[in-house]
Structure 1
Amino acid sequence: MKDVAQMAGVSITTVSHVVNSTRAVAPETKFRVLDAIERTGYTGDAIARSLVTGGTRSLGVAISLVANPYFGELIQAIEHETTKSGYTLVLTDTHDEQSTEQSAVRTLRSRRVDGLILTPSPRAAGTVLPELKQLGIPMVLVDRLTVGTDFDQVGPENVHSTSALVQHLAELGHKRIGIISGAEGLATTSERVLGYRLGLGRSGLSWDEALVQSGESAAEPAAAALGRLLDLDNPPTAVVAGNNVMLSGVLHEARRRDLKIGRELAVVGYDDVEWADLIDPPITTMAQPIAEIGRTAVRMLLNRIADPTRQPTTARLQPTLMHRNSCGCP
């Protein structure tokens, strides 16, 4: 930046204002700074390049990498589609926390990414989403969808797919079916609980609030949640785990209690896992179309960048039932 300032005959502060758009600079001064940026090779910096070309050819992703291995697979799909489209990917980890999410998004903004893919945290609707909406940044929400939002969004169909898991268990004769639900405030949690309730109704089973226990989208709380279900006076004979992380907690608690999965307790899970068919019995799951979700998110974002005035769209992609033996089927 010092070389740019010397060549343009301005201060380093002026160069900073041109690069970061933090203060108005006279057109002739800005021209000299941009010309110096080109001649010194400072155009290798993504921010400077955006000033010269009007875009960085980069897409930002703000996602919680620690929350769920599912997101790691999602990133792979997003990165592949981004590269194929001639863009680079800038990744930040939100840790599923409000303050970290805000910091991550602002970091991506400072890198002048052309658009943003976000998996919103539980409190994003009241914080970062209004800010991004006001700024008019091209953005796509992934996985955790919000009804009535003004953003493009893509994720799995949660309601009917969870209902299908419950109905399958009911068809096997289970009358007491519990669910380990995810963290409060997440759209995926409320949608899967709604699907659970829908499945009960379609199967002619009554709703019992005691059969819904929060696993907080994590393994240890899920193990504790299964313990609460099994300690009921009238415990469930079948359980739906709300995601793959909670599924592992459910299986650990079942083993601790020496329960035979598929015989003494039927278990099914939302989200498939690579080890689902490696354990005994193999686990029946509802597998999300992760790769297609990632590809669709990138395509949606590029369409939004190309046409900022287009109407927002929501895509819900259908999961696939991976029918194995933990549900009690032979």
Structure 2
Amino acid sequence: MADVALAAGVNKSTVSHVLNGTRIVSDSTRELVLEAISATGYRHNVVARSLATSTTMSLGLAISSAANPYFGDLIRAVEASASAAGYMLMLADTHDDADVERRVVEELLGRRTDGILLAPSVNAIDRALPYLESTGAPTVLIDRFVDAELDQVGSENTDATARLVEHLAEIGHRRIAMVCGLRGLPSTSERVDGFRRTVAALSLDDDPGLELDGGSDAARAEQVVHELFSGPARPSAVVVGNNAMTIGTMRALRRLDLRVPADVALVCYDDFEWADLFEPRLTAMEQDVARIGGIAVDLVVQRIRDPSRPARRQVLDPTFRHRDSCGCHLSGARPA
């Protein structure tokens, strides 16, 4: 910094103010400092700064299945919001494994991240969450809600899934299947509850065999959908629990030469960036991923600044995107 100050003809404190934004500096002085930084090749010593300030201006994001299209979108949203808040993001994939999750959380904190954003796994309540609570690390749970006194943000699942089933019933479907996500995840349980509730309320076919274990995996979903729709009593419609499984479901139906929606109506939870480019265009519940990521970062930054404030839970309503895969254009029906 002394070299930069000498080259720019200013004090070291002025260089610090330009770098850290701690005081207003005139445009001409700022330009001199930036030119000197470029000429000298100066870089912040992040390690030294973290030792001096006890902060690293970094956040850890521990999330399952980064290859899932939804989580890819969520990672981008969190990174954009973190960057805007002045934080670097460190990413780890938990693979929805409680032991891996506990290890990566420990490693992220070992790298002195200022806060943790976590999409909790099935057994997080027994492994990672008690550890995080014991350390007092600023933590926000993202996408999945659990019974814990921690900041949390995600989408509403139960009523949204019920709305998908109701829509299929409105246009005449009585035998409706659901491709369910990984068992034990709160989001899976909530979506299955919405499906079951509506099947019961509308006296639809309540055959237990219509609940398929898709495991939140495209290949698994393809397998179970192919088995069900190869049988003699196939349903006329299907609700898919997330976008990874929607891909597998579409593959299975294509293998069976079943057309969507002419032969099988399809609706799904989770929208795709390219869902309206599918043939047919997919009717889906769209989560506000950008808002979820922004709120998550805002919550963890507030928690870093004020560790004693009460925990908050924010539940966001997804948006119903009515397109073609439900088959309304074939029946002439429209959503209520």
TM-score by length of 1: 0.83
Aligned residue in 2 for 1:160: 159
Aligned residue number for residue 75 of structure 2: 75
Aligned length: 288
Equivalent residue for 1:92?
92
Q: Distance in 1 between matches of 2:126 and 2:195?
A: 27
Tell me whether 1:216 sits opposite 2:215 in the alignment: yes
User: Which has the larger displacement, 90-99 or 303-312?
Assistant: 90-99
Judge conservation of contact 2:175–2:205 (CA < 8 Å) in 1: no
Segments of structure 2 that go 5 or more residues without pairing to the other structure are 1-41, 330-336
Q: Tell me which moved more, 116-125 or 90-99.
A: 90-99
Q: Is the 8 Å Cα contact of residues 67 and 96 (structure 1) preserved in structure 2?
A: no
Q: Does 1:290 align with 2:289?
A: yes
State the partner residue of 1:113: 113
Residue 67 of structure 1 and its aligned partner are, at CA, apart by 4.7
Q: After TM superposition, list the pairs within 5 Å mapping 1:162-177 onto structure 2.
A: 162-177=161-176
* Counterparts of 1:142 and 1:226, CA distance in 2: 29
Q: Which whole-Å CA distance do the structure 2 matches of 1:236 and 1:206 have between them?
A: 9
Is the 8 Å Cα contact of residues 62 and 116 (structure 1) preserved in structure 2? Answer: yes
Shift of 1:206: 4.8
Question: C-alpha distance in 1, partners of 2:44/2:158?
Answer: 48
Relative to structure 1, the CA distance from residue 231 to residue 258 in structure 2 (aligned partners, 3 Å threshold; closer, same or farther) is closer
Deviates more, 1:148-157 or 1:227-236: 227-236
Residue 286 of structure 2 contacts residue 320 of structure 2 at CA under 8 Å; is this kept in 1? yes
The residue type paired with residue 71 of structure 1 is F
Return the offset for 1:103: 2.2
- Counting aligned pairs with the same residue, the percent is 45
Q: In the TM superposition, what whole-angstrom CA distance separates every residue of 1:22-69 from its partner, at most 9, and x where no partner exists? A: xxxxxxxxxxxxxxxxxxx998243x4333112112211111343512
- 4+ residue segments displaced more than 4 Å: none
Distance 1:113 1:103 in 2: 15
CA-CA distance at 1:281 after TM superposition: 1.5
Aligned to 1:204: 203
**Contact conserved, 1:162 with 1:192, CA < 8 A, in 2?**
yes
C-alpha contact (below 8 Å) 2:157/2:190 kept by paired residues: yes
CA contact (8 A) 2:261 2:326 kept: yes
The aligned residue for residue 45 of structure 2 is 44
TM-score when normalising by structure 2: 0.82
Question: Which position in structure 1 is the counterpart of 2:261?
Answer: 262
Quote how far apart the aligned CAs of 1:234 are: 2.8
Give the Cα–Cα distance (whole angstroms) in 1 for the partners of residues 305 and 327 of structure 2: 50
* SS of structure 2 residue aligned to 1:179: strand
8 Å CA contact 2:46–2:56 kept in 1: the answer is no
Higher mean displacement: 91-100 or 268-277: 91-100
Residues 1:61 and 2:61 are matched in the alignment: yes
Separation of aligned partners in 1, 2:113 and 2:51: 12
Deviation at 1:101, TM superposition (A): 1.7
Query: In 1, Cα distance between the equivalents of 2:275 and 2:138?
Result: 37
| 1:207 to partner: Cα distance | 2.7
User: 1: CA distance between counterparts of 2:92 and 2:218?
Assistant: 24
Give the counterpart letter for 1:198 in structure 2. R
- Quote the Cα distance in structure 2 between the aligned partners of 1:192 and 1:168: 15
Which residue identity is paired with 2:119?
Answer: T
Say whether the 8 Å CA contact 1:272–1:288 is kept in structure 2: yes
How far, CA to CA, are the matches of 1:277 and 1:84 in structure 2?
30
